[in-house]
Amino acid sequence: MHGKRLPYYSHPHGVHPVQVMPVEHYENFPVASLLLPARLREPVEAIYAFARSADDVADEGDAASVERLARLHDYRLALETSARGGPVRDPTLVPIFDRLGRSIRAHGLPVQPFRDLLDAFAQDVVKTRYRDFAELLDYCRRSANPVGRLMLCLYGAATPDKLRQSDAICTSLQLINFWQDVAIDWRKARIYLPQDELARFGVDEVFLERASTQGLDGVDGEGTARWRALMAFQAGRARSMMLDGAGLARALPGRIGWELRLVVLGGLRILERLDATGYDVFSRRPTLGKSDWLRLAWRALNYGPRA
Protein backbone atom coordinates (compact mmCIF):
# COMPACT_ATOMS: atom_id res chain seq x y z
CA MET A 1 0.00 0.00 0.00
CA HIS A 2 3.12 2.14 -0.22
CA GLY A 3 2.38 3.79 3.06
CA LYS A 4 -0.55 6.09 2.27
CA ARG A 5 -3.67 4.04 2.79
CA LEU A 6 -4.82 5.05 6.26
CA PRO A 7 -6.63 8.34 5.88
CA TYR A 8 -8.51 10.16 8.59
CA TYR A 9 -8.43 13.51 10.23
CA SER A 10 -4.87 14.64 9.82
CA HIS A 11 -3.20 16.62 7.09
CA PRO A 12 -3.77 14.42 4.05
CA HIS A 13 -0.96 15.41 1.77
CA GLY A 14 2.41 15.91 3.32
CA VAL A 15 2.21 18.55 6.07
CA HIS A 16 1.60 17.32 9.60
CA PRO A 17 0.75 18.75 12.98
CA VAL A 18 3.38 18.46 15.71
CA GLN A 19 3.75 14.77 16.44
CA VAL A 20 5.48 12.48 18.88
CA MET A 21 6.35 9.79 16.33
CA PRO A 22 7.91 9.92 12.86
CA VAL A 23 5.34 9.86 10.06
CA GLU A 24 7.33 9.51 6.89
CA HIS A 25 5.15 6.58 5.82
CA TYR A 26 1.63 7.61 6.78
CA GLU A 27 0.85 11.11 5.68
CA ASN A 28 -2.89 10.70 6.35
CA PHE A 29 -2.72 9.40 9.90
CA PRO A 30 -3.22 11.49 13.07
CA VAL A 31 -0.16 10.24 14.91
CA ALA A 32 -0.68 11.32 18.53
CA SER A 33 -0.56 14.96 17.53
CA LEU A 34 -0.30 17.45 20.34
CA LEU A 35 -3.78 18.51 19.28
CA LEU A 36 -5.06 15.23 20.68
CA PRO A 37 -6.17 15.03 24.31
CA ALA A 38 -3.38 13.51 26.38
CA ARG A 39 -5.54 10.53 27.34
CA LEU A 40 -5.84 9.53 23.67
CA ARG A 41 -2.20 9.82 22.63
CA GLU A 42 -1.25 6.34 23.85
CA PRO A 43 -4.08 4.48 22.05
CA VAL A 44 -3.56 6.50 18.87
CA GLU A 45 0.16 5.74 18.98
CA ALA A 46 -0.64 2.06 19.52
CA ILE A 47 -3.05 1.99 16.57
CA TYR A 48 -0.52 3.80 14.40
CA ALA A 49 2.34 1.47 15.34
CA PHE A 50 0.19 -1.55 14.54
CA ALA A 51 -0.96 -0.15 11.20
CA ARG A 52 2.46 1.07 10.15
CA SER A 53 4.17 -2.19 11.02
CA ALA A 54 1.56 -4.35 9.29
CA ASP A 55 1.59 -2.12 6.21
CA ASP A 56 5.36 -2.45 6.03
CA VAL A 57 4.99 -6.23 6.12
CA ALA A 58 2.65 -6.00 3.14
CA ASP A 59 4.65 -3.55 1.07
CA GLU A 60 8.25 -2.99 2.16
CA GLY A 61 11.36 -5.04 1.50
CA ASP A 62 11.98 -7.97 -0.83
CA ALA A 63 10.02 -10.76 0.84
CA ALA A 64 7.97 -13.07 -1.36
CA SER A 65 4.19 -12.80 -1.28
CA VAL A 66 3.84 -16.08 0.59
CA GLU A 67 6.17 -14.81 3.33
CA ARG A 68 4.26 -11.54 3.63
CA LEU A 69 0.95 -13.36 3.94
CA ALA A 70 2.35 -15.73 6.56
CA ARG A 71 3.63 -12.80 8.60
CA LEU A 72 0.27 -11.04 8.39
CA HIS A 73 -1.29 -14.26 9.67
CA ASP A 74 1.04 -13.97 12.68
CA TYR A 75 -0.33 -10.46 13.18
CA ARG A 76 -3.89 -11.79 13.16
CA LEU A 77 -3.08 -14.34 15.84
CA ALA A 78 -1.32 -11.73 17.96
CA LEU A 79 -4.25 -9.34 17.55
CA GLU A 80 -6.82 -11.85 18.77
CA THR A 81 -4.63 -12.92 21.68
CA SER A 82 -3.72 -9.42 22.85
CA ALA A 83 -7.30 -8.17 22.56
CA ARG A 84 -8.34 -10.89 25.03
CA GLY A 85 -5.48 -10.00 27.37
CA GLY A 86 -3.48 -13.13 26.60
CA PRO A 87 0.31 -13.29 26.15
CA VAL A 88 1.70 -12.78 22.65
CA ARG A 89 4.12 -15.64 21.97
CA ASP A 90 6.14 -14.05 19.17
CA PRO A 91 8.73 -11.85 20.93
CA THR A 92 9.12 -9.64 17.86
CA LEU A 93 5.43 -8.70 18.08
CA VAL A 94 5.22 -8.14 21.83
CA PRO A 95 6.11 -4.39 21.69
CA ILE A 96 3.34 -3.72 19.18
CA PHE A 97 0.59 -5.92 20.54
CA ASP A 98 1.08 -5.53 24.28
CA ARG A 99 0.40 -1.82 23.91
CA LEU A 100 -2.35 -2.32 21.34
CA GLY A 101 -4.08 -4.92 23.50
CA ARG A 102 -4.01 -2.60 26.51
CA SER A 103 -5.54 0.17 24.45
CA ILE A 104 -8.26 -2.07 23.04
CA ARG A 105 -9.26 -3.24 26.50
CA ALA A 106 -8.90 0.11 28.25
CA HIS A 107 -11.04 1.97 25.72
CA GLY A 108 -13.42 -0.81 24.77
CA LEU A 109 -12.35 -0.64 21.13
CA PRO A 110 -13.92 -3.07 18.67
CA VAL A 111 -11.51 -5.62 17.22
CA GLN A 112 -13.16 -5.83 13.80
CA PRO A 113 -11.57 -2.63 12.43
CA PHE A 114 -8.12 -4.09 13.14
CA ARG A 115 -9.10 -7.33 11.41
CA ASP A 116 -10.32 -5.32 8.45
CA LEU A 117 -7.01 -3.47 8.19
CA LEU A 118 -5.09 -6.74 8.17
CA ASP A 119 -7.41 -8.12 5.50
CA ALA A 120 -6.75 -5.04 3.36
CA PHE A 121 -2.99 -5.30 3.82
CA ALA A 122 -3.12 -8.95 2.78
CA GLN A 123 -5.22 -8.06 -0.25
CA ASP A 124 -2.65 -5.51 -1.34
CA VAL A 125 -0.03 -8.27 -1.42
CA VAL A 126 -1.89 -10.24 -4.08
CA LYS A 127 -4.36 -7.92 -5.84
CA THR A 128 -3.33 -5.28 -8.37
CA ARG A 129 -6.55 -4.60 -10.34
CA TYR A 130 -10.13 -3.75 -9.38
CA ARG A 131 -12.99 -4.90 -11.58
CA ASP A 132 -15.43 -2.11 -10.73
CA PHE A 133 -16.09 0.66 -8.24
CA ALA A 134 -17.98 -1.64 -5.89
CA GLU A 135 -14.88 -3.80 -5.57
CA LEU A 136 -12.74 -0.73 -4.92
CA LEU A 137 -15.20 0.52 -2.30
CA ASP A 138 -14.99 -2.81 -0.52
CA TYR A 139 -11.23 -2.39 -0.34
CA CYS A 140 -11.61 1.15 1.03
CA ARG A 141 -14.11 -0.13 3.59
CA ARG A 142 -11.36 -2.30 5.05
CA SER A 143 -8.27 -0.20 4.37
CA ALA A 144 -9.44 3.36 5.04
CA ASN A 145 -12.63 3.39 7.06
CA PRO A 146 -11.41 1.41 10.11
CA VAL A 147 -9.13 4.21 11.31
CA GLY A 148 -11.93 6.76 11.28
CA ARG A 149 -14.23 4.38 13.11
CA LEU A 150 -11.61 3.73 15.77
CA MET A 151 -11.08 7.46 16.29
CA LEU A 152 -14.80 8.01 16.77
CA CYS A 153 -14.83 5.18 19.30
CA LEU A 154 -11.97 6.81 21.20
CA TYR A 155 -13.87 10.09 21.30
CA GLY A 156 -17.11 8.41 22.37
CA ALA A 157 -18.84 9.64 19.22
CA ALA A 158 -19.45 6.39 17.31
CA THR A 159 -23.13 6.89 16.50
CA PRO A 160 -24.52 5.30 13.31
CA ASP A 161 -24.79 8.64 11.51
CA LYS A 162 -21.32 9.79 12.52
CA LEU A 163 -19.83 6.45 11.49
CA ARG A 164 -21.47 6.79 8.08
CA GLN A 165 -20.07 10.31 7.67
CA SER A 166 -16.63 9.18 8.80
CA ASP A 167 -16.70 6.36 6.26
CA ALA A 168 -17.53 8.87 3.53
CA ILE A 169 -14.61 11.12 4.49
CA CYS A 170 -12.13 8.26 4.85
CA THR A 171 -13.10 6.61 1.57
CA SER A 172 -13.00 9.95 -0.23
CA LEU A 173 -9.52 10.68 1.12
CA GLN A 174 -8.33 7.30 0.00
CA LEU A 175 -9.75 7.79 -3.48
CA ILE A 176 -8.12 11.20 -3.70
CA ASN A 177 -4.84 9.60 -2.70
CA PHE A 178 -5.27 6.95 -5.38
CA TRP A 179 -5.86 9.61 -8.04
CA GLN A 180 -2.81 11.56 -6.89
CA ASP A 181 -0.71 8.42 -7.13
CA VAL A 182 -1.81 6.88 -10.42
CA ALA A 183 1.69 7.20 -11.86
CA ILE A 184 3.39 5.93 -8.69
CA ASP A 185 1.08 2.93 -8.50
CA TRP A 186 1.52 2.19 -12.19
CA ARG A 187 5.27 1.89 -11.67
CA LYS A 188 4.45 -0.70 -8.99
CA ALA A 189 2.23 -2.58 -11.47
CA ARG A 190 -0.90 -1.58 -9.55
CA ILE A 191 -4.03 0.15 -10.85
CA TYR A 192 -6.80 1.35 -8.57
CA LEU A 193 -8.87 2.89 -11.36
CA PRO A 194 -11.80 0.47 -11.87
CA GLN A 195 -11.31 -1.67 -14.95
CA ASP A 196 -14.86 -1.21 -16.23
CA GLU A 197 -14.53 2.58 -16.00
CA LEU A 198 -11.19 2.56 -17.80
CA ALA A 199 -12.92 0.69 -20.62
CA ARG A 200 -15.95 2.99 -20.60
CA PHE A 201 -13.76 6.08 -21.05
CA GLY A 202 -11.47 4.41 -23.58
CA VAL A 203 -8.31 4.44 -21.45
CA ASP A 204 -6.11 1.35 -21.46
CA GLU A 205 -2.82 0.24 -19.97
CA VAL A 206 -0.96 1.18 -23.14
CA PHE A 207 -2.02 4.77 -22.46
CA LEU A 208 -0.86 4.57 -18.84
CA GLU A 209 2.54 3.26 -19.88
CA ARG A 210 2.97 5.93 -22.53
CA ALA A 211 1.87 8.74 -20.22
CA SER A 212 4.15 7.45 -17.46
CA THR A 213 7.19 7.42 -19.72
CA GLN A 214 6.46 10.38 -22.01
CA GLY A 215 4.21 12.54 -19.86
CA LEU A 216 0.66 13.52 -20.70
CA ASP A 217 1.94 15.94 -23.33
CA GLY A 218 3.53 13.01 -25.14
CA VAL A 219 0.17 11.31 -25.69
CA ASP A 220 -2.11 12.09 -28.60
CA GLY A 221 -4.83 14.67 -28.01
CA GLU A 222 -7.71 12.21 -28.20
CA GLY A 223 -6.13 9.95 -25.60
CA THR A 224 -5.48 12.92 -23.33
CA ALA A 225 -9.09 14.05 -23.63
CA ARG A 226 -10.33 10.59 -22.67
CA TRP A 227 -7.98 10.54 -19.70
CA ARG A 228 -9.16 13.92 -18.47
CA ALA A 229 -12.79 12.89 -18.79
CA LEU A 230 -12.09 9.74 -16.78
CA MET A 231 -10.27 11.61 -14.05
CA ALA A 232 -12.85 14.39 -13.88
CA PHE A 233 -15.43 11.68 -13.26
CA GLN A 234 -13.30 10.13 -10.51
CA ALA A 235 -12.62 13.50 -8.88
CA GLY A 236 -16.27 14.49 -8.99
CA ARG A 237 -17.31 11.30 -7.28
CA ALA A 238 -14.68 11.71 -4.57
CA ARG A 239 -15.78 15.32 -4.04
CA SER A 240 -19.43 14.33 -3.65
CA MET A 241 -18.44 11.68 -1.15
CA MET A 242 -16.33 14.14 0.85
CA LEU A 243 -19.14 16.67 0.99
CA ASP A 244 -21.54 13.93 2.05
CA GLY A 245 -19.40 13.32 5.13
CA ALA A 246 -18.38 16.92 5.81
CA GLY A 247 -21.18 17.47 8.31
CA LEU A 248 -19.18 15.35 10.76
CA ALA A 249 -16.48 18.03 10.81
CA ARG A 250 -19.05 20.60 11.90
CA ALA A 251 -20.66 18.27 14.43
CA LEU A 252 -17.54 17.26 16.37
CA PRO A 253 -16.39 19.81 18.95
CA GLY A 254 -12.99 21.17 19.82
CA ARG A 255 -9.71 19.90 18.50
CA ILE A 256 -11.00 16.85 16.67
CA GLY A 257 -13.55 19.00 14.86
CA TRP A 258 -10.90 21.48 13.82
CA GLU A 259 -8.53 18.79 12.54
CA LEU A 260 -11.34 17.10 10.67
CA ARG A 261 -12.43 20.38 9.08
CA LEU A 262 -8.83 20.86 8.04
CA VAL A 263 -8.56 17.46 6.41
CA VAL A 264 -11.88 17.87 4.59
CA LEU A 265 -10.77 21.23 3.24
CA GLY A 266 -7.37 19.78 2.33
CA GLY A 267 -8.91 16.91 0.40
CA LEU A 268 -11.17 19.28 -1.50
CA ARG A 269 -8.20 21.54 -2.25
CA ILE A 270 -6.25 18.63 -3.70
CA LEU A 271 -9.18 17.90 -6.01
CA GLU A 272 -9.09 21.53 -7.14
CA ARG A 273 -5.38 21.19 -7.83
CA LEU A 274 -5.91 18.00 -9.81
CA ASP A 275 -8.45 19.81 -11.96
CA ALA A 276 -6.19 22.85 -12.39
CA THR A 277 -3.37 20.67 -13.75
CA GLY A 278 -5.65 18.95 -16.25
CA TYR A 279 -5.25 15.72 -14.25
CA ASP A 280 -1.61 15.42 -15.30
CA VAL A 281 -0.45 13.24 -12.42
CA PHE A 282 2.34 11.86 -14.59
CA SER A 283 4.53 14.96 -14.59
CA ARG A 284 4.14 15.86 -10.94
CA ARG A 285 2.17 14.53 -8.00
CA PRO A 286 -0.20 17.29 -6.84
CA THR A 287 0.32 18.19 -3.19
CA LEU A 288 -0.32 21.06 -0.80
CA GLY A 289 2.45 23.21 0.60
CA LYS A 290 2.85 25.04 3.90
CA SER A 291 1.17 28.18 2.61
CA ASP A 292 -1.84 26.11 1.54
CA TRP A 293 -2.10 24.57 4.98
CA LEU A 294 -1.82 27.91 6.75
CA ARG A 295 -4.74 29.27 4.73
CA LEU A 296 -6.75 26.11 5.25
CA ALA A 297 -6.01 26.09 8.98
CA TRP A 298 -7.35 29.62 9.31
CA ARG A 299 -10.41 28.74 7.28
CA ALA A 300 -11.00 25.59 9.32
CA LEU A 301 -10.71 27.56 12.55
CA ASN A 302 -13.00 30.36 11.51
CA TYR A 303 -15.40 29.08 8.95
CA GLY A 304 -15.44 25.29 8.72
CA PRO A 305 -15.84 23.37 5.46
CA ARG A 306 -17.89 24.75 2.63
CA ALA A 307 -18.95 23.12 -0.61
State the pLDDT at residue 33: 56
Identify whether 120 is part of a domain.
Answer: yes
State the pLDDT at residue 293: 75
Identify whether 9 is part of a domain.
Answer: no
Q: How many domains does the chain have?
A: 1
State the pLDDT at residue 64: 96
Identify whether 211 is part of a domain.
Answer: yes
Which structural domain range is residue 287 located in?
38-302
State the pLDDT at residue 35: 64
Regions of the chain where pLDDT drops below 50: 1-32, 305-307
Specify the CATH number for the domain of residue 43. Answer: 1.10.600.10
Identify whether 107 is part of a domain.
Answer: yes
State the pLDDT at residue 284: 86
Identify whether 4 is part of a domain.
Answer: no
Identify whether 52 is part of a domain.
Answer: yes
State the pLDDT at residue 174: 96
Identify whether 251 is part of a domain.
Answer: yes
Identify whether 6 is part of a domain.
Answer: no
DSSP assignments along the chain, one per residue: -TT----SSS-TTS-----SS--SS-TTS--S-TTS-HHHHHHHHHHHHHHHHHHHHHHSSS--HHHHHHHHHHHHHHHHHHHHTPPP--TTTHHHHHHHHHHHHHHT--SHHHHHHHHHHHHHHH----SSHHHHHHHHHHHTHHHHHHHHHHTT---HHHHHHHHHHHHHHHHHHHHHTHHHHHHTT---S-HHHHHHHT--HHHHHHHHHH-GGGS-HHHHHHHHHHHHHHHHHHHHHHHHHTHHHHHS-HHHHHHHHHHHHHHHHHHHHHHHTTT-TTT------HHHHHHHHHHHHHT----
State the pLDDT at residue 34: 53
